[in-house]
């Protein structure tokens, strides 16, 4: 059998590599998820919120005295009711948007550019806060079991954040198989806390020191609204399955809707179970431990099961934080494709990883964690607002979708999504008003600033596109007849007579036209010396020497090239660069060539080319 030509073999190899890359990225059938796998991969963010949601309700109510903490149960019942409405609404989103029903996509399709920018800004805030809140809650859970870590909450958070950032920069797969075991362990441990706690007449053990909480408020409507708004942090992540419908196996819509319903039932059951235990056992905030840690000790005691549950909760929260490292870089890439963020966010490595997006997540989360000292309750006022803005936009977009298409039973769908939009809008307003002075004002400032950023960047790209003529056919390139009067001049900056100089001159001659070498010396003696070496070598190419006593090279070359460019010739500057075999040796060589190329491109309209000279060491 005759062998294929070389170009065909290369093409086949490239195609095979491309197919492997697609499979790695989740395009193959084996990488699509069943309902159970999708639940494991996409629900940990929502499920892990039980570690801090009920506690935030109790902390707020404790401000009115110990008796007020009993209100945790009725407030949780209202939150679970809102959860069920959201779950049913997002099942409708899944049916209508099987390509992925994120609030940004829904708003872009149904509500226009401005609303989609609002959705994107809210999502960015939500993703960053998800990382910060999950890591802060995880550090608190770990410190409850290991009190020696209590003074180092910020350091613990930053250590976990650095680990997640490095792993995601390197490229790890946030697959269902990785998340299956931690998700099951998390659910089993929390279910064990609820079931054993309800089966016992009183707590087995008590952990933490009593904490005096000053009574500063009365149990009125305002305090109840504040507690409700804090508890709504338990609803974050409910939309994740609707966003990830394309990840499911066929029939995708059926499997995703099933996973969404399972998420609602699991999350609602855990929230209610923990709230019943808090109400029955009169659990109050205590020094050095979380309320979930108290409930765990009350159910399991302080033996190995207590420590294992604390570690599982910390792991679950860390992996919940990791979901933002997968979601936010993708959102940033979508915004970049829509010309609303810098295009570098679309760049992806072969693994594949959006590294610029990952870096942004890590930096912003680190700033937040340092600002609040790694304390969860200081992040919560900012947390849920972005989430509920996204909820409201998504539901309003679905109302517009059903109203426009009017398929069978569209009126019922409009009613369901309309109720969801109303409830989430009211919840967002309650969150904003009740938490404004405690930190919600930050979101009020950041979201419009992000929208302004999107608008300015999009305007810039629009103007650049007009100048480049991206939407019109340009004139034909100038042919030989039109450029006959313009000669080509290749300028090669050199520093000495070396093998690299010989290679650069050979490349310059291959380009055609006149070739001239230019060197800059600090004094006349140096200029005479290199002219002598050049004469002995006699490469047949003219050498121009520039004497500059200021010992700078870039500016004299810039002025020389500028003078050549003003003659009307086609000017090409060919800059040879040393490329060591090992990256660590690059610091041993000056980067003057790169800097020279940058300066030339910034100031002149000439062709600048870099010619690497690769070393063997």
Tokens for 486? 């313009």
| Cα distance from N-terminal residue to C-terminal residue, the chain | 42
Domain boundary among 461, 476, 503: 461
- In a domain? residue 4: no
- In a domain? residue 10: no
CB 377 within 8 A of CB 59: yes
Neighbours of 151 (CB within 10 A): 10
Tokens for 81? 């009711």
Specify the length of the chain in residues.
617
CB 298 within 8 A of CB 204: yes
Q: What is the pLDDT of residues 445-470, one digit of tens each?
A: 999 999 999 999 998 888 887 876 66
* 532 pLDDT tier (thresholds 50, 70, 90): very high
Nearest to 264 by CA among 125, 380, 408, 420: 420
Q: Quick one: how many helices (H) and strands (E) in the chain?
A: 22, 7
- In a domain? residue 11: no
Q: How far, in Å, CA of 414 to CA of 436, rounded? A: 32
The total number of structural domains in the chain stands at 2
| 443 and 496 belong to one structural domain | no
CB 39 within 8 A of CB 247: no
Phi, psi of 491 (to 5 degrees): -105, 125
- In a domain? residue 470: no
- In a domain? residue 233: yes
Mean pLDDT value across residues 533-551: 88
Residue 372: its pLDDT value, please? 86
* 1 pLDDT tier (thresholds 50, 70, 90): very low
Neighbours of 8 (CB within 10 A): 10
Residue 516: its pLDDT value, please? 94
> Which of 114-118, 193-197, 591-595, 613-617 is the least confident region?
613-617
CB 57 within 8 A of CB 231: yes
Q: What is the pLDDT of residues 270-282, one digit of tens each?
A: 999 999 998 888 8
Neighbours of 177 (CB within 10 A): 11
Q: How far, in Å, CA of 76 to CA of 386, rounded? A: 20
Phi, psi of 248 (to 5 degrees): -85, 155
DSSP annotation of 377: H
Q: What is the mean pLDDT of the chain?
A: 81
- Where residue 220 sits, what CATH number does that domain have? 1.20.1740.10
Residue 25: its pLDDT value, please? 38
Residue 567: its pLDDT value, please? 87
| 435 and 555 belong to one structural domain | no
| 237 and 284 belong to one structural domain | yes
For residue 49, is the peptide bond before it cis, meaning its omega torsion is within 30 degrees of 0?
no
% of the chain exceeding 70 in pLDDT: 87
Mapped onto helix, strand or coil, the DSSP state of residue 287 is: strand
516's enclosing H/E stretch is strand 514-521
pLDDT tops 50 at residue 27: no
DSSP annotation of 477: P
pLDDT tops 60 at residue 287: yes
Is 0.85 surpassed by the pTM of this model? no
Domain boundary among 405, 426, 461: 461
* 22 pLDDT tier (thresholds 50, 70, 90): very low
Mean pLDDT value across residues 52-75: 84
- In a domain? residue 17: no
| 424 and 551 belong to one structural domain | no
Q: Residue 92, CB half-sphere, CA atoms under 13 Å: how many?
A: 30
| 223 and 78 belong to one structural domain | yes
Residue 98: its pLDDT value, please? 78
Neighbours of 489 (CB within 10 A): 19
CB 606 within 8 A of CB 565: yes
Neighbours of 596 (CB within 10 A): 22
- In a domain? residue 329: yes
Mean pLDDT value across residues 513-519: 92
The three-point CA angle 380-381-385 to 5° equals 100
Q: 583 is in which domain, residue-wise?
A: 488-614
- Where residue 500 sits, what CATH number does that domain have? 3.40.50.620
Q: Radius of gyration of the chain from Cα atoms?
A: 32
Q: How far, in Å, CA of 219 to CA of 402, rounded? A: 42
* 13 pLDDT tier (thresholds 50, 70, 90): very low
Residue 60: its pLDDT value, please? 84
pLDDT tops 90 at residue 43: no
Find all residues with CB under 8 Å of 113, minimum gap 6, and list them: none
Task: Report the DSSP pairing between strands 488-493 and 570-579.
Answer: parallel
| 493 and 419 belong to one structural domain | no
Residue 102: its pLDDT value, please? 67
- Out of 327-336, 344-353, 592-601, give the one with best mean pLDDT: 592-601
Token pair 């940058």 is found at 598
> Which of 41-50, 216-225, 370-379, 514-523 is the least confident region?
216-225
pLDDT: which is higher, 297 or 353? 297
CB 39 within 8 A of CB 259: yes
| 588 and 447 belong to one structural domain | no
Mean pLDDT value across residues 275-301: 87
Nearest to 612 by CA among 586, 571, 578, 584: 578
pLDDT tops 70 at residue 28: no
| 497 and 399 belong to one structural domain | no
| 609 and 498 belong to one structural domain | yes
Nearest to 301 by CA among 197, 156, 391, 229: 197
DSSP annotation of 248: B
Residue 177: its pLDDT value, please? 61
Tokens for 365? 């989360």
| 395 and 526 belong to one structural domain | no
Which residues share a beta bridge with 248? 33
Q: What is the pLDDT of residues 299-334, one digit of tens each?
A: 888 888 888 988 888 888 878 777 777 678 878 888
pLDDT: which is higher, 147 or 23? 147
Residue 352: its pLDDT value, please? 60
Nearest to 197 by CA among 205, 207, 209, 186: 205
Tokens for 546? 């520039």
Residue 519: its pLDDT value, please? 93
Q: How far, in Å, CA of 550 to CA of 451, rounded? A: 48
Sign of the Cα torsion 435, 54, 64, 74 reads: positive
Helix ranges (DSSP H) in 469-523 = 499-511
Residue 356: its pLDDT value, please? 86
| 412 and 496 belong to one structural domain | no
* 495 pLDDT tier (thresholds 50, 70, 90): confident
For residue 352, is the peptide bond before it cis, meaning its omega torsion is within 30 degrees of 0?
yes
| 208 and 73 belong to one structural domain | yes
Q: What is the pLDDT of residues 402-452, one digit of tens each?
A: 888 888 888 888 888 888 888 888 878 887 887 788 778 888 899 999 999
Q: How far, in Å, CA of 297 to CA of 311, rounded? A: 13
- In a domain? residue 19: no
% of the chain exceeding 90 in pLDDT: 16
Q: What is the pLDDT of residues 220-260, one digit of tens each?
A: 777 888 888 778 878 877 877 877 777 788 888 888 899 88
Sign of the Cα torsion 286, 290, 294, 300 reads: negative
């Amino acid at each position: 059998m005759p062998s294929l030509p070389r170009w065909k073999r290369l093409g086949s190899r490239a195609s095979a590599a491309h197919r492997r890359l697609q499979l790695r990225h989740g395009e193959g059938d084996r990488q699509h998820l069943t309902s159970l796998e999708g639940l494991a991969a996409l629900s940990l963010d929502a499920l892990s919120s039980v570690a801090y949601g009920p506690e935030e309700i109790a902390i707020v109510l404790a401000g009115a005295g110990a008796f007020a903490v009993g209100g945790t149960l009725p407030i949780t019942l209202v939150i679970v009711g809102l959860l069920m409405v959201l779950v049913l609404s997002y099942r409708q989103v899944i049916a209508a948007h099987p390509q992925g029903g994120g609030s940004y996509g829904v708003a872009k399709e149904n509500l226009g550019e401005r609303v989609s920018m609002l959705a994107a800004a809210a999502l960015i805030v939500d993703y960053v806060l998800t990382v910060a809140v999950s890591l802060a809650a995880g550090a608190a859970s770990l410190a409850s079991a290991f009190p020696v870590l209590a003074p180092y909450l910020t350091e613990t958070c930053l250590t976990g954040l650095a680990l997640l950032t490095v792993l995601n920069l390197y490229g790890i797969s946030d697959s269902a198989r990785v998340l299956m075991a931690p998700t099951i362990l998390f659910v089993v441990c929390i279910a064990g806390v609820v079931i054993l706690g309800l089966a016992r007449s009183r707590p087995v053990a008590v952990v933490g020191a009593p904490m005096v909480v000053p009574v500063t408020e009365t149990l009125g409507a305002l305090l109840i609204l504040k507690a409700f708004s804090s508890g709504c942090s338990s609803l974050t992540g409910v939309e994740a399955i609707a966003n990830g419908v394309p990840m499911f196996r066929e029939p995708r819509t059926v499997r995703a809707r099933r996973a969404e319903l399972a998420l609602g039932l699991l999350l609602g059951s855990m929230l209610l179970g923990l709230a019943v235990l808090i109400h029955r056992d009169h659990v109050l905030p205590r020094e050095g431990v979380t309320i979930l840690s108290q409930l765990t000790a009350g159910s399991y005691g302080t033996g190995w099961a207590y420590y294992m549950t604390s570690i599982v909760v910390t792991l679950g929260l860390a992996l919940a934080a990791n979901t933002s490292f997968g979601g936010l870089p993708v959102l940033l890439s979508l915004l970049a494709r829509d010309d609303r963020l810098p295009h570098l966010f679309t760049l992806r490595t072969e693994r594949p990883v959006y590294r610029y997006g990952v870096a942004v997540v890590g930096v912003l989360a680190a700033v937040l964690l340092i600002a609040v000292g790694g304390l969860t309750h200081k992040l919560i006022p900012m947390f849920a607002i972005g989430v509920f803005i996204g909820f409201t936009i998504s539901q309003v977009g679905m109302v517009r979708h059903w109203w426009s298409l009017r398929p069978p039973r569209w009126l019922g769908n409009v009613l369901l999504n309309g109720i969801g939009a109303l409830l989430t809008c009211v919840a967002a307003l309650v969150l904003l008003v009740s938490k404004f002075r405690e930190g919600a004002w930050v979101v009020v400032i950041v979201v419009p600033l992000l929208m302004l950023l999107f608008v300015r960047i999009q305007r810039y790209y629009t103007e650049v596109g007009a100048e480049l003529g991206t939407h019109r056919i340009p004139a034909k390139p100038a042919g030989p007849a039109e450029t006959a009067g313009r000669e080509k001049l290749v300028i090669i900056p050199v520093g000495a007579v070396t093998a690299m100089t010989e290679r650069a001159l050979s490349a310059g001659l291959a380009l055609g036209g006149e070739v001239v070498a230019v060197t800059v010396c600090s004094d006349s003696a140096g200029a005479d010396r290199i002219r002598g070496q050049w004469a002995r070598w006699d490469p047949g190419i003219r050498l121009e020497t520039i004497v500059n006593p200021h010992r700078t090279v870039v500016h004299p070359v810039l002025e020389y090239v500028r003078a050549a460019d003003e003659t009307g010739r086609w000017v090409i500057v060919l800059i040879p660069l040393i490329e060591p075999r090992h990256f660590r040796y690059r610091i041993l060589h000056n980067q003057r060539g790169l800097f020279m190329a940058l300066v030339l491109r910034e100031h002149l309209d000439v062709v600048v080319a870099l010619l690497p000279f690769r070393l063997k060491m």
